[in-house]
Structure 1
Amino acid sequence: MARRKYMRTRQLKPGMKIDQVIEDSMGRNLVVCGSILDDYIIESLLKLGIMSVYIQDGDDTPEDNILSPAAAQKVEKLRTSDPSKVTLSDSVKKRVSEGIQFVYNNTGSDKFVEAADSITEDLMHAITQNNAIAIDISSLKTSDEYTFKHSVDVATISMILAKHLNMSKQEIYEIGITGLLHDIGKTQIPPDILNKPGQLDDAEFDIMKRHALYGYRMLNSRNEFNNAICLGVLQHHEKVNGAGYPLGFESNQICPYAKILSVADIYDALVTERPYKAAYTQREAVEMIMSMTGELDITAMKAFLESMILYPVDSIVELSNGEKARVVKNNFHYILRPTVVGIKSGKVYDLSKDLNCANIIINN
């Protein structure tokens, strides 16, 4: 019987069978469900910024991924389902994709605010309908275009963090709007700088940094967004140690929305493939976020680390001791170190609490 397995695109191999449809921003099928992957398709997925996909993992499951009787017994006993994650139906993804493209391409439209509100309502509904308190950002995939996808990702992550921090529904909604529009000022950056396929030089980067100020002015001039939203857009690149831009504010001068947006913005940028850089793995990105305690707000960072799911329950991982294992429980204070069961040995590795596992990490 066929099963679905969620895999990072960089781990795909020719011959695997994809178990989902890949669409472009217009809803056209690029890869149909059931297609056999080859090097060209895998490379194309990476170029589109698609970092994870579902593949068919059925009757031809590799022998080394089959649980031994001892392992199956331990998995059945210890398996603890992940908390509810944000999920978007295909129809909502399409609506959100079309909406965010309209927003960024029609900043002067009378329907600009209405479109931003509509997208945020869809995201809010996705969070509240199943009481989602966690997120696997690689499963959202609302657009192939970086700016649009990034805006929706940042909004969704920020809304989950705001919920985790027990903010009001109105504040969660407002931070969603702020996340969607945090890069709106980039519409005023010269295209040759905005779309440069390589690293920006210092002069170009100085121009790029103005997008936060441009965005603030654009929203503030409309008189339809409150001060918290406008300041969140203005300050989303500020750092708590004063090393950010455009104002060089320190922690006590940075608004709460911006502190949350900053974490979401950095993480999503790290895990997204760009023409001038490869995407970091989710684990690498989390480790980098954890290293930025001098730059990011600790409360927002803690909420982020307790909300992300890197290794969904039932996924297969490779341990640094060479053993393959199945994830049976996530430990949300230690998202890099879930509890896993060795597929062949049946050994339980509580990577977060067992000192005997202190030198073992997940490789993939």
Structure 2
Amino acid sequence: MTRRKYMRTRQLKPGMIIDQVIKDRTGRNLVVQGSAVDEYIIDSLIKMGIMSVYIRDGEYNPDDPDKILSPRAAAKVKELRTDDRSKVRLTDSVKKRVSEGIQFVYNNPDSDEFVQATDTITDALMTAITENDAIAVDINALKTSDEYTFKHSVDVATISMILAKQLDMSEKEIHEIGVTGLLHDIGKTKVPPEILNKPARLTDEEFAIMKKHSLFGYHMIKDRPEFNNAICMGVLQHHEKINGHGYPLGFDEHKICPYAKILSIADIYDALVTKRSYKEAFSQRDAVEMIMSMTNELDITAMKAFLGSMILYPVDSIVQLSNGEKARVVRNNEHYILRPTVVGVDSGRVYNLGDDLKCASIIIL
């Protein structure tokens, strides 16, 4: 917790944060509010006759993005900083309802309340998306359960709904693809537990059984009148690939329904970034790069929507550049999500990684 404190200039220490704008005699900004002072600034303030200043008082955190900026960097950050596109946010109460709901759905697939529970969860996710006009996803903020199947289903539903919104689908279609995402793995309830919960990679025989889960799921919902053909086919086809090498039917892109093309990307991404007993989680950056490499397997339109929805480096986060400098993210570019605009925290140099050819050899590590 920080507060504003008035302090004599001679008592300032390097690294303290100035909580006011200080101008020189010509009216130019000498110190930008939020800047960390160094010995040079302290000496300059004293020579200018500024005997006291406001500082931010509180527990010092060396990783605080405000406290590690040089004055030049702070000025550049203030000039260039652009808020990220609005992301999906789930309150703790919504997370609790969603968590309880998805557990009920997967534990009671034959219940009369199965459909209502699925709709209730989707409505909660829809509200979270529409309340702040969300068009982006922060996968770390979605956590609704520690159990993989439950969390994965909610993640896939939410990501798919955001992609559908990016693609200008109707509210009805966005809701339906949310339902499809929640139920895409419902067929796993018919897979033997010793295969489903095996803490190691599956054998070829076991994987052949696991691959039937999309078919099992389709048969579990196809006769329920509340689920239309688009939802049922999305559940059936979410592991199909546009090159015809997916399963269970080996359909090519012309036979794969639109919902499945979106779900496929959300499903792969969330599986990659989630740690399992038999594999470590991939970083979000690596997962995105893997998705980008799958142009012969995934629908390019859905992929573009996905790339436009991911925020890998949130504005204000600190990143390490390949040239050795730490930098603060000030602007994301939805067309180059791996290459935002950043400002060196010491030098104040602006690196437009997405558009500036001079920065072409610099990457975020």
TM > 0.5: yes
1:18-97, aligned counterparts within 5 Å? Answer: 58-62=59-63, 66-97=68-99
RMSD of aligned C-alpha atoms?
1.4
Deviation at 1:224, TM superposition (A): 2.1
Post-superposition CA distance 1:74-114 (Å, at most 9, x none):
00000000011000000000000000000000001000000
Match of 2:189 among 164, 187, 190: 187
Corresponding letter in the other structure for 1:180: L
Corresponding letter in the other structure for 1:207: I
Q: Is the 8 A contact 1:327 1:339 kept in 2?
A: yes
1:273-352, aligned counterparts within 5 Å? Answer: 273-352=275-354
Q: 1:272 maps to which residue?
A: 274
Corresponding letter in the other structure for 1:242: G
Do the aligned partners of residues 268 and 58 (structure 1) sit closer, same or farther apart at CA in structure 2, a change above 3 Å counting?
A: farther
Deviation at 1:193, TM superposition (A): 0.3
Q: 1:170 maps to which residue?
A: 172
Q: Name the SS of the counterpart of 2:254 in structure 1.
A: helix
Q: Name the SS of the counterpart of 2:282 in structure 1.
A: coil
Q: 2:209 maps to which residue?
A: 207
Deviation at 1:59, TM superposition (A): 1.6
Corresponding letter in the other structure for 2:276: R
Corresponding letter in the other structure for 2:166: H
Q: Name the SS of the counterpart of 1:294 in structure 2.
A: coil
Deviation at 1:62, TM superposition (A): 4.9
TM-score w.r.t. the length of structure 1 is 0.84
Corresponding position: 1:98 with 2:95: no
Match of 1:261 among 254, 260, 263: 263
Corresponding position: 1:228 with 2:267: no
Match of 2:139 among 129, 137, 140: 137
Q: Name the SS of the counterpart of 1:253 in structure 2.
A: coil
Do the aligned partners of residues 103 and 78 (structure 1) sit closer, same or farther apart at CA in structure 2, a change above 3 Å counting?
A: same
Q: Distance in 1 between matches of 2:93 and 2:277?
A: 29
Give the unaligned 5+ runs of structure 2. 4-57
Q: Name the SS of the counterpart of 2:348 in structure 1.
A: coil
Post-superposition CA distance 1:47-94 (Å, at most 9, x none):
xxxxxxxxxx95232599610010000000000000110000000000
Do the aligned partners of residues 349 and 212 (structure 1) sit closer, same or farther apart at CA in structure 2, a change above 3 Å counting?
A: same
Match of 1:241 among 236, 240, 243: 243
Match of 1:146 among 145, 148, 154: 148
Do the aligned partners of residues 309 and 58 (structure 1) sit closer, same or farther apart at CA in structure 2, a change above 3 Å counting?
A: farther
Q: 1:50 maps to which residue?
A: none
Do the aligned partners of residues 116 and 62 (structure 1) sit closer, same or farther apart at CA in structure 2, a change above 3 Å counting?
A: closer
Q: Distance in 2 between matches of 1:217 and 1:131?
A: 35
Q: Distance in 2 between matches of 1:85 and 1:288?
A: 23
Q: Distance in 2 between matches of 1:268 and 1:119?
A: 19
Q: Name the SS of the counterpart of 1:317 in structure 2.
A: strand
Q: Where has structure 1 moved over 4 Å in runs of 4 or more?
A: 62-65
Do the aligned partners of residues 114 and 319 (structure 1) sit closer, same or farther apart at CA in structure 2, a change above 3 Å counting?
A: same
Give the unaligned 5+ runs of structure 1. 4-56
TM-score w.r.t. the length of structure 2 is 0.83
Identity %: 74
Corresponding letter in the other structure for 2:258: P
Q: Is the 8 A contact 1:2 1:59 kept in 2?
A: no
Deviation at 1:343, TM superposition (A): 0.2
Do the aligned partners of residues 344 and 164 (structure 1) sit closer, same or farther apart at CA in structure 2, a change above 3 Å counting?
A: same
Q: Distance in 1 between matches of 2:226 and 2:314?
A: 40
Corresponding letter in the other structure for 2:360: A
